[in-house]
Chains A and B, each alone.
Chain A
Amino acid sequence: MTETALAITRTIDARGSFCPGPLMELIRAIREGAVGDVIAVQSSDKGSRTDIPMWIEKAGHRLVALETRDGYDEIVVEKRR
């Protein structure tokens, strides 16, 4: 099984929201989720490409994927603790 084949538990559409909106939406989803959940956050704010992976590392979760789609980024994270 490839990394991105992990089933996404929840997708957050934070497109159109500005920093720190997408990060705060992800934090809320992480708080509400269970260990093992895979959460995808979609953001059109360019800052998310760096802010969110940095937060994932600090918070001890796992960056599963970071893909640029049509005008936005999708960042997939697995809740590890």
Chain B
Amino acid sequence: MRRILILGGGVGGTLTANLLVKRLRARIDRGEVEVMVVDATGDHVYQPGFMYIAMGGERAANLTRPERSLLDRRVTLLVGEVAAVDERRRVVTLVDGLPIGYDQLVLATGSRIVPEAIEHFDTEAHHFYTAEAAAELREALDRFDGGRIVIGIAGMPYKCPPAPLEVAFLIEAELRDRGIRERTTIDYCSPIGRAFTIESVSEMATPILAEKGIELHTFFNVESIDPWRKVVESLEGEALPYDLLILVPPHKGQQFLIESGLAPAPGGWLPTDRATLQVGGRTDVYALGDATDLPLSKAGSTAHFEAPVVTERIVAAIEGRAVDHARGDYLGRVMCFFEIGDGKGTLLQFDYDHPPRPPKPNRLWHVGKIVFNKTYWHTVPKGRV
């Protein structure tokens, strides 16, 4: 029996497991292959929904389902936290000491937020990267009655790159609706020399920021928060006073990947081949989703398009044949919706060689995002789209 071990039950891990079953069903039924998912919580969380808790309308309960309910019944699910990977012996050990051997390993371990990396972040800054934090931000917005809002990014890379811009646009629209826009200033802080990493998206977003009266501060890398003066300071020497501070927290990869020698410190992002998705040249270890060091959006969409690549490569190895490069090479494809506010959105579609050309914002793409969010459970994890 050969075991394909997948660490992580997010978009990448769940979809890969289900696609492997589709391709290897007969071998699994004959007991030749086992597909196993190890997940720390056993719950699958639709993280793109967090932003909508903060922006109103969404409830945390709608964003979580048991991982078991999303996996094909042929997939073995083991709930437990990983402590270490021993690649020489091909064994993963859980925190409770359970060893699990593997023939092929898929690291779909995501990213984690580390707000504690910045002093006073926890008490001063709001964010929307957990359901709880997003609900607290919603309450803070409800209490807000005008003043200075600062929105920024406290570390790169981070999950869902358009999210802070979307939040800025949505908050601006909300404040207008509530009649308190006139007595509010909004500052948007970008760590790099423009509004967004991808130039074409930056070119789209910068005039919208100006049109909405949101002041853009470039090269603003958050260095410290002064809770007494209510000021956020940048490494570059800029200081912005705030009444409401919203910051994307710093992100890292999983600590056990660093300790197991698979990913370098301090970031913990796995060195991943941009086409094969193999980790550090290993032919039996793959990475997808947020866990990689690829220069792409950390987003469910990335994992969604990577999962078929990992699947094809593992299936080819099991079937003892050459990889079909049409299915087994990742071209960097990503697709995501982008909220602009006032019921409008746009779409970012790109790959390694083709930057996005976002269409003019309209209602269609906003509705598209809402429909995608609602139908996610029946489509993406099950490999139906």
Q: B320 in the interface, Cβ–Cβ < 8 Å?
A: no
Closest Cβ neighbor of B237 among chain A residues: A60
Contacts of B156 in A (CB 8 A): 20, 24
B193 in contact (CB, < 8 A): yes
Which of A20, A24, A58 is within 8 Å of B236, CB to CB?
A58
Interface size (B, Cβ < 8 Å)?
Answer: 12
CA distance A21 to B192 in the complex (A): 10
Q: Is B237 touching A20 in the complex (CB atoms < 8 A)?
A: no
Can you name 5 A-B pairs with beta carbons within 8 Å? A19-B295, A20-B197, A27-B221, A54-B193, A58-B236
Assess the B295–A17 pair: CB atoms within 8 A: yes
Report B185-199 CB contacts with A as 1/0, cut-off 8 Å. Answer: 000000111000100
Q: Give residues in A with beta carbon < 8 Å to B.
A: 17-21, 23-24, 27, 30-31, 50-51, 54-55, 58-60, 81
B144 within 8 A of A: no
Chain B interface mostly: loop
Residues in A whose Cβ lies below 8 Å from that of B218: 58
- Give the CA-CA distance A27 to B191 in the complex, in Å: 10
Cβ of B235 under 8 Å from chain A: yes
Interface mask (B226-240 → A, CB under 8 Å = 1, otherwise 0)? 000000000111000
Query: B219 an interface residue at 8 Å Cβ cutoff?
Result: yes
**A46 CB to closest chain B CB, in angstroms?**
12
Q: Which residues of B contact A24 (CB under 8 A)?
A: 156, 191
Q: List CB contacts (< 8 Å) of B207-251 with chain A.
A: 218-219, 221, 235-237
A23, A30, A59, A81: the one contacting B192 at CB < 8 Å is A23
Task: Identify which of residues 251-300 in chain B touch chain A, using a CB-to-CB cut-off of 8 Å.
Answer: 295
**Are B235 and A51 closer than 8 Å at their CB atoms?**
no
Q: How far is the CB of B98 from chain A (nearest CB, A)?
A: 36
Q: What is the CA–CA distance of A54 and B237 in the complex, to the nearest angstrom?
A: 14
Which of chain A's residues has its CB closest to B352's CB?
A18
Query: In the complex, what residue of chain B is closest to A24 when comparing beta carbons?
Result: B156
